Amino acid sequence: MASLVHKFAFESPVITVEAISVVAMVELAQSYKVFGTPHIVLNRLDHLTGRVTEAQLLAAIAERRS
C-alpha cells in the first residue's frame, strides 16, 4: 500500500506522503483513529481503510480535490 501512495506522490507535486508505523507512533495513530492497517488519511480528514486499488485511490484523491 505504501508503494502505491508513494507512486502517486512521485507523479504529482501536489501530493505528499508520510508512512508511519502505528506501533511506533501510537499517539498519532490514535489521533487519526487508526485501528488497523492499511489505512490512508487524506487531507488529515478523510480515511481509506483496507487494501485499495490504484483506481480507487485516484478516485478518492480526485473527489477530495473538487
pLDDT tens column, 26-53: 999 999 999 888 999 998 888 999 999 9
pLDDT at 8 over 80: yes
Q: In the prediction, which pLDDT does 50 show?
A: 92
At 52 the pLDDT is 92
- Please state whether the peptide bond connecting residue 38 to the residue before it is cis, i.e. omega within 30 degrees of 0: yes
Domain hosting 51: range is 2-65
The CA-to-CA distance between both ends of the chain, in Å, stands at 24
- The residue written with cell numbers 480535490 in the block is 65
Per-residue pLDDT of 9-19, as tens digits, reads 999 898 899 99
Q: How many domains does the chain have?
A: 1
